[in-house]
Chains A and B, each alone.
Chain A
Amino acid sequence: MTARGAPGDVGDLAMASLTSSAALVEAVAARQRRLLDAAKASGRAAVFIYSAAAHSLLATDGVWWASGFKPMGECALGIAPDGSFELWVSPSGDLSRAEDAVGARAAGVSDVFVAAAAWLARCGLRGGEVLFCGTDKISVRRYPSAAAVFGEHDGTGDRLLLELARRRDKVELAHALEAARIAELGFARLLEEIRPGLGEFAVVAILDGILRELGSQDNFVLISASQRNRSVHPPTERTVERGDVLLAEISPSVGGMFTQICRSVTIGRPGPSIARDYELLDAAFEAGRVACVPGGPVRAAALAMDAVLTGAGFGDYCRPPYMRARGHGLGIGSVLPGDVTVSTPEIFAEGDYFVLHPNQYLPTSGYLLCGEPVVVEPGGARLMSSRRGELASVGV
């Protein structure tokens, strides 16, 4: 069993200190410095980051990462050559919340690109002199406004931001640890509530409340059940009954850092095939975990997991539609290393944060979930959860 590291791994500061405003402000300032330095190294004088406030588990938000402010409407942030910055917030009624994050640097605006144009003029810059991050967030409708101010940008800034932010800083990791703690506690409490007759959606409703009480700010959840799951999916009104296997992808977030734990629960005593198949997935997880080393190919982790399953005779099922990916990145500024698949060209870097999961359909028991949030270290991925999950059972 691979336990997560001690609090010292994120410095001597307690969780409360690391997620305090002061620590976050310091972290954000450091992120902006790194980004501006990278822009200048690439021949640009300043940085512009755009957000459409379309938040999701798999997407980043550069404005949020570089300011500590979670946009609820179209927002943008400009970092000038001298390191000063401005945050343009819409709707303007959200200004006070932005001021909590960045003080007087925030301005409520009706159009972020109009604000950006004025900022460029004040800085004496042309649009082409700015590193543009977030081109992938701009809709077709808004693109003409962006292009009118900044000209055409090819997405170089988007990738640079992903690379720069991929080593999650101490504040991000502290948030991720807290989110993992909430996920594990929430799952433990959920097990006390699950009973036959509950609809899948009722299980989610109960879980949502638990996670909120524990401090989760958002939550991505897939919970479904079947006597033989074909996949995991959003909850329907199907009721949970004895003999079912309930699958739960539980992904609360703190400060924008999502975590994810993947759990399987039998309603009643697990059959021998399910227990055996879960052990197989658990072994696959461990094989994948040790393959997550800095400088190593991400696909090696997927191949390592596939090898365990192939060795057990399930090689034909190590592909869609029987599975999707062996994991995926999590974060605000970066979701590298991206999807953990056998075909990805990505390379692991120390500090990569993602969920590793050999979630899989097996013909002998159906789809099962098994996964933990991890961070890449020299000896392999370290768990961000307190312990590896186990096949759970309720109503035995």
Chain B
Amino acid sequence: MKHGRTTWDRAVLPPDEFEERRLAVERVLESIGAVAVVGFADSSRPGLVGYLSNYLTAGALATLICVPGVEATLVAGLGGGRDHPFIKGTSYVQDVRWFPQLGAGISQVLAEHGVAEGRLALAGFDDCLNRARADGVLAALAAYEVVTFDDAFDALRRTKRERELGVMRAARAVLDEAGSAFSASLQESGEVHGALIVAERVAKLRGCRDFRALALARDGSLRPWPEGGTGSTSWSNDPFAVYLAAEYLGYWADLGVSAPDQGETSWCVRALEAAQAALQIGSSGASLQVALRDRLGAAVEQITLEATGIGLTLDEAPRLSNDESALAREGDVVCLRVWAKDGRTSSVVTRQVLVGERGCTPLEGSSPA
């Protein structure tokens, strides 16, 4: 459950940032001939809603209706409006409403802005709605030519804006602090479970809204913490491996901490360095695998490389390791995650990199103010 600091940090993501994002989306809408876009979001997929409004729903479905040139409308909350004053405090969009019938509500808002027909783009529709709700929405939008905006939005989102990169660096810095706290606590107590509690506390005290972890269990598997174990008795304390992820102002960062120490000569780190060295404009998941094999030889069989985008979610475009057609391009922020398994020992290292003209560079952490 996401329940950490929920805020709009205007210093880091000022109103002009959301204005520029809105204009960028409107340019894409114009290019596809759409008269408006409606975005849907849930707690795992903030999508267009989070991107354009800063509002990150922790539970109930949120919907954003954007007609070019006019203020957007955010449909959010559990009904009744009790939570709307709070939502307005965290949202760039101030027209916040709730409708008992979502489709009718969307149609009403569009009509208010004189948009009665035409091509209507939908973002997040396929993933955030179930069939029954989707049917209701589509029935209410029968007058429009409905098209998906997902691919276009993914393409727009791949190139992170400067302020997004700033937040992502801050997120990584916070997670580095949490990771250090984890290591210090583990050294003192010898107990992974307790050290993860410490790490989570540090992350949340530094302003993260969400914190997730995978930890090495005694049977050699990596499991979600804490559900995967029973308190302190199920986690492997020596050797240990934890994968930490945290969301800060809507943006995710992740980090791997393992022991034996993943020094420069470990397979994990060598794989990470090989992946980073190979990643450039035009790289695919397959090309990265070739680079790993060239560098590691037979040891590559112990390695799993994930190379995906990261930002408002932990796994977003470009999904180089999951999509054969995906190719890296300049401006991508790619998260390289290397998982190594050797018997009952696992290791994980991660690095977020920015793809540039001549290869990629690490997205270094920079401490938030």
Indicate whether A54 sits within 8 Å of B42 (C-beta atoms), given known contacts A218-B227, A220-B1.
yes
Question: Given A58-B59, A136-B132, A212-B226, A236 and B1 touching (CB < 8 A)?
Answer: no
Kindly provide the distance from the CB of A393 to the nearest chain B CB, expressed in whole angstroms.
24
- In Å, the complex CA distance between A209 and B193 comes to 11
Question: CA of A202 to CA of B198 in the docked complex: distance in angstroms?
Answer: 13
* Given A56-B43, A97-B228, A233-B83 contact (CB < 8 Å): yes
Interchain CB contact under 8 A, B6 and A139: no
Bound-state Cα–Cα, A201 to B7, Å: 10
Size of interface on B: residues with Cβ below 8 Å to A: 49
- B228 cross-chain contacts in A, Cβ below 8 A: 97
Tell me which residues across on chain B come within 8 A of A97, comparing CB atoms: 217, 221, 223-224, 228
Q: What are the residues of chain B within 8 A of A319 when measuring CB–CB?
A: 80
Cβ–Cβ contact B5 & A237, under 8 A? yes
Contact at A320–B200, with CB atoms within 8 Å? no
Question: Is A321 within 8 A of B59, CB to CB?
Answer: no
Residue contact A324 to B5, C-beta cutoff 8 Å: no
Contacts of A233 in B (CB 8 A): 6, 83, 86
Interface residues of A in 206-251 (CB under 8 A from B): 206, 208-209, 212-213, 215, 217-222, 224, 230-231, 233-237
Q: Which single residue of chain B is at the shortest CB-CB distance from A237?
A: B7
Contact among A141, A200, A206, A224 for B201, CB-based, below 8 A: A206
Q: With A and B bound together, what is the CA distance between A200 and B3 in angstroms? A: 11
Residues of A within 8 A of B6 (CB): 201, 233-236
A93 to B341, CA, bound (A): 12
Measured CB to CB, the closest approach of chain B to A178, in angstroms, equals 12
A45-72 contacts to B, CB under 8 A, are: 54-58, 70, 72
For chain A, the count of residues having a C-beta within 8 Å of the partner chain is 52
B contact residues around A322 at 8 Å (CB): 82
- What A residues does B31 contact at CB under 8 A? none
The answer on a CB contact under 8 Å between A205 and B205 is yes
Residues of B114-158 contacting chain A, CB below 8 A = 125-132, 134
Is the CB of B44 closer than 8 A to any CB of chain A? yes
Pick from A155, A200, A320: contact of B82, CB under 8 Å: A320
Q: Is A323 an interface residue (CB 8 A)?
A: yes
For residue B207, CB closer than 8 A to chain A, the reply is yes
Q: Is B14 in contact with chain A by the CB < 8 A criterion?
A: no
A96-B219, A321-B84, A324-B82 in contact; A54/B130 too (CB < 8 A)?
Answer: no
Q: Does B291 lie at the interface of the complex (its beta carbon under 8 Å from any beta carbon of A)?
A: no
Contacts of B134 in A (CB 8 A): 140
CB <8 Å contact, A140 and B130: yes
Q: How far is the CA of A140 from the CA of B40 in the complex (A)?
A: 12
A201–B207 touching, CB < 8 Å = yes
Do the beta carbons of A236 and B85 come within 8 Å of each other?
no
Distance in angstroms from A225 CB to nearest chain B CB is 13
B204 touches A208 (CB 8 A): yes
A97 CA to B84 CA in the complex, in Å? 40
Question: Within the assembled complex, what's the spacing in Å between the Cα atoms of A311 and B83?
Answer: 26
| Chain A CB within 8 A of B81 CB | yes
Segment 1-34 of B: residues with Cβ below 8 Å from A: 1, 3-7
Instruction: Tell me, yes or no, whether B89 is within 8 Å of chain A by CB.
Output: yes
Residues of A within 8 A of B231 (CB): 215
Q: Which residue of A lies closest to B98 (CB)?
A: A320
**A140→B126 contact, CB < 8 A:** yes
**Using Cβ atoms and an 8 Å threshold, which residues of chain A touch B83?**
231, 233
Q: Which residue of B lies closest to A255 (CB)?
A: B227
Tell me if A117 counts as interface (CB < 8 A to partner B). no
Query: A140, B222: Cβ atoms under 8 Å?
Result: no
Separation of A213 and B85 alpha carbons in the complex (Å): 34
Contact partners of A386 in chain B: CB under 8 A: none
Q: Are A321 and B80 in contact (CB under 8 A)?
A: yes
Residues of A within 8 A of B128 (CB): 139
- Min Cβ gap B43→A in Å is 7
- Residues on A with beta carbons closer than 8 Å to the beta carbon of B44: 54
Knowing A201-B207, A236-B6, say if A140 contacts B127 (CB, 8 Å): yes
Query: Please, how many angstroms separate the alpha-carbon atoms of A201 and B90 in the complex?
Result: 14
Interchain nearest-CB distance for A187 vs B (Å):
15
Which residue among B3, B85, B127, B207 has the maximum number of chain A CB atoms within 10 Å of its CB?
B3
Q: Is B260 an interface residue (CB 8 A)?
A: no
A289 within 8 A of B: no
User: In the complex, which residues of chain B have a beta carbon less than 8 angstroms from the beta carbon of A202?
Assistant: 204-205
Contact A213-B43, Cβ < 8 Å, known A140-B129, A320-B82:
no
Known A56-B1, A205-B4, A323-B82: A236·B131 in contact at CB below 8 Å: no
**Which residue of chain B is the closest to A215 with respect to CB atoms?**
B231
- In angstroms, Cα B130 to Cα A200, docked, is 34
Asked if residues B3 and A138 are in contact (CB atoms below 8 Å), the reply is: no
Q: Which residues of A contact B227 (CB under 8 A)?
A: 70, 72, 217-218
Is B197 close to A, CB under 8 A? Answer: yes
Whole-angstrom CA separation of A204 from B200 in the bound complex: 11
Contact A205 B59 (CB under 8 A): no
CA distance A306 to B231 in the complex (A): 42
In the complex, chain A residues 129-146 whose Cβ is within 8 Å of any chain B Cβ:
135-141, 143
Nearest-neighbor residue (CB-CB) of B226 within chain A: A217
Within 8 A of B (CB), among A96-113: 96-97
Nearest-Cβ distance from residue A111 to partner chain B, whole angstroms: 14
Contact A155 B132 (CB under 8 A): yes
Within 8 Å by CB of B1, from A212, A219, A324, lies A219
- Give the Cβ gap from A209 to chain B, nearest Cβ, in Å: 4
Distance between Cα atoms of A5 and B83 in the complex (Å): 35
Interface residue? B78 (CB, 8 A): yes
Output the least CB separation between A293 and chain B (Å): 27
**Is A157 among interface residues, defined by CB-CB distance under 8 A?**
no
- Cα-based distance from A56 to B59 in the complex (angstroms): 7
A14 to B227, CA, bound (A): 22
B58 within 8 A of A: yes
**Contact assessment for A213 and B197 in the assembled complex, using a CB-CB cutoff below 8 Å:** yes
Can you list 6 pairs linking A and B with CB atoms under 8 Å apart?
A54-B44, A199-B5, A200-B5, A209-B201, A321-B80, A322-B82
List of 8 A-B pairs having minimum Cβ-Cβ separation, nearest first: A320-B80, A205-B204, A201-B5, A234-B6, A233-B86, A321-B81, A141-B126, A96-B221
Inter-chain pairs besides A94-B223, A139-B130, 17 sampled, C-beta below 8 Å: A56-B43, A57-B1, A135-B132, A137-B130, A140-B125, A204-B3, A209-B198, A209-B200, A212-B197, A212-B226, A231-B82, A233-B83, A236-B6, A237-B7, A320-B81, A321-B80, A324-B80
